[in-house]
Structure 1
Amino acid sequence: MTAAFTEALLGARRPVIMELKRQDAAGRDLFGGRSVEDVVTAYEDAGAPCLSVVTGRWFGGTRALLHQVARSTELPLLQKDFITHRSQVEQSREDGASAVLLTAALLPKSTLGSLIEHAVQLGLTPFVEVTTEAETLRVPRARDCVIAVNNKDITTRERGPAHLGRSTDLLPSLRRTGTPCPVSASGIEHPDGAARLLREGFAGVLVGTGLLRAESLSRWIDDFDREHQDLPRPLERPQKSQ
């Protein structure tokens, strides 16, 4: 089973999940006077297959931001927040999300499994974030999930440097789970880095600060296209076992 968010990413010519967040981990403004509608329109014009919306308070987010984005676009939306209860999954769907972030490092295995099950029942894509092989291997129903490597450290509120090598190291583990959509997320600033991760075998990348701080979004996309143009699309998906 794949939901709208996964389908959009797997079928995209530019498999970049473009993110809206109001501020970076240090509290610096990222919108620069732009409205939510301005950013959404720019991302749509850039060919985003789906959007990520950060509602977590670390990054100045609120549920109101998700409401605004949902009113401004028909693209599938990922809500990024610390979701720990089934009621939050239900609220996410009501607020317009197509996918929900579930952070494996914060959730006991039983809770993670329950939230994944509930999200799938509601038609949402579980977007499960991992940082270690052990976390990766305890994701249930991986074929129904996007599994994303977080290249930053949440224990420091993502204020430290990114380690893109973590994604490279964990990709074989992600593939073994059977997820149709391995993703590298966070700390991807430059188009060549994004394209390299796709070349290594990721089905998508999530980019936020790098796009919001880019002097020219269209130039970032043009550079990405030059690096990415030789990659085959769409990604061949794992076959379901009988």
Structure 2
Amino acid sequence: MNSPFVTALLAAERPLIMEVKRRDAHGTDLLAGRTPAEVVAAYEAAGAPCLSVVTGRWFGGTDALLREVREHTVLPLLRKDFVTRRAQLTETRELGASAVLLTAGLLPARTLRTLVIGALRTGLTPFVEITSEEELARVPHPEECVIAVNNKDIGDRERGAGDLGRSLRLLPAVRAAGTPCPVSAGGIDGPEAAARLLAAGYRGLLVATALLRSPDLNAWPTVNTPPGMHM
């Protein structure tokens, strides 16, 4: 699989997809007076292998935010939004992203297949988010996708605390599907939870709110950090 996003994540000492997001699910400001450029600089200093940028309106995102982040980093970028049309794939590439979020629970099987194949043909890594084995079974070409278990639920606009047990339960099935890079996403509230998921076998974690509120990004685990230990 020739994917700058996956290559960077798999080679990282601290395999966290660090997210730039203006607001949380409750509407609370997460930048707290910082510019996106300042957030990106802090993430790079902490060893981020790649970044996620939320362009979805639920969280105060815009296409301009992705363009701004692209201007300040050469790291591979994931565009997080509700992508439902092929035209959005071309748009995502033009905005400077290397990967695109596809939410399996929101897409009919035929549409999901069209978008995964379209992303690959556009030069984007499909970052397919699932919450169940049924959704996983509908993912085409999983060996060419990042498959991410979302610990939160779209049905409540991701306002809940999240269920990290979902990631632990689904990891064997995600591995068996053939993805080179299983990811746990959402609800990862601190370094200890992150260390447990990495120790369980996840090759990457997508973390947003907790990182944006973290007083010390270097306290987050590396691949060699035992669960329960801080850096």
Q: TM-score, normalised by structure 2?
A: 0.96
Task: Tell me if the contact between 2:23 and 2:60 (Cα under 8 Å) persists in the aligned partners.
Answer: yes
Task: Tell me if the contact between 1:67 and 1:95 (Cα under 8 Å) persists in the aligned partners.
Answer: yes
1:151-166 correspondence runs (5 A): 151-166=151-166
1:179-218 correspondence runs (5 A): 179-218=179-218
Q: Which residue does 1:239 correspond to in 2?
A: none
Displacement of 1:195 after TM fit? 1.2
Are 2:210 and 1:228 aligned?
no
Distance 2:159 2:224 in 1: 29
Q: Which residue does 2:67 correspond to in 1?
A: 67
Give ranges in structure 2 of 5+ residues lacking alignment.
none
Give the secondary structure class of the aligned counterpart of 1:228: coil
- Alignment RMSD: 1.3
Q: Which residue does 1:172 correspond to in 2?
A: 172
Task: Tell me if the contact between 1:137 and 1:173 (Cα under 8 Å) persists in the aligned partners.
Answer: no
Spell out, residue by residue over 1:79-138, the C-alpha distance to the aligned partner (whole angstroms, 9 max, x if none). 000000000011000000000000000111111111111111111100000001100111
Displacement of 1:173 after TM fit? 1.0
Displacement of 1:192 after TM fit? 1.1
Task: Tell me if the contact between 2:195 and 2:225 (Cα under 8 Å) persists in the aligned partners.
Answer: no
Q: Which residue does 1:235 correspond to in 2?
A: none
The residue identity in structure 1 corresponding to 2:104 is A
The residue identity in structure 2 corresponding to 1:229 is T
Give the secondary structure class of the aligned counterpart of 2:174: helix
The residue identity in structure 1 corresponding to 2:105 is A
The residue identity in structure 1 corresponding to 2:72 is S
Spell out, residue by residue over 1:129-179, the C-alpha distance to the aligned partner (whole angstroms, 9 max, x if none). 000110011111001100000000110000012100000001111011100
Task: Tell me if the contact between 1:19 and 1:53 (Cα under 8 Å) persists in the aligned partners.
Answer: yes
Aligned length: 227
Are 2:2 and 1:32 aligned?
no
Give the secondary structure class of the aligned counterpart of 1:66: helix
Distance 1:126 1:169 in 2: 22
Distance 2:136 2:46 in 1: 31
1:73-84 correspondence runs (5 A): 73-84=73-84
Give ranges in structure 1 of 5+ residues lacking alignment.
232-242
Q: TM-score, normalised by structure 1?
A: 0.91
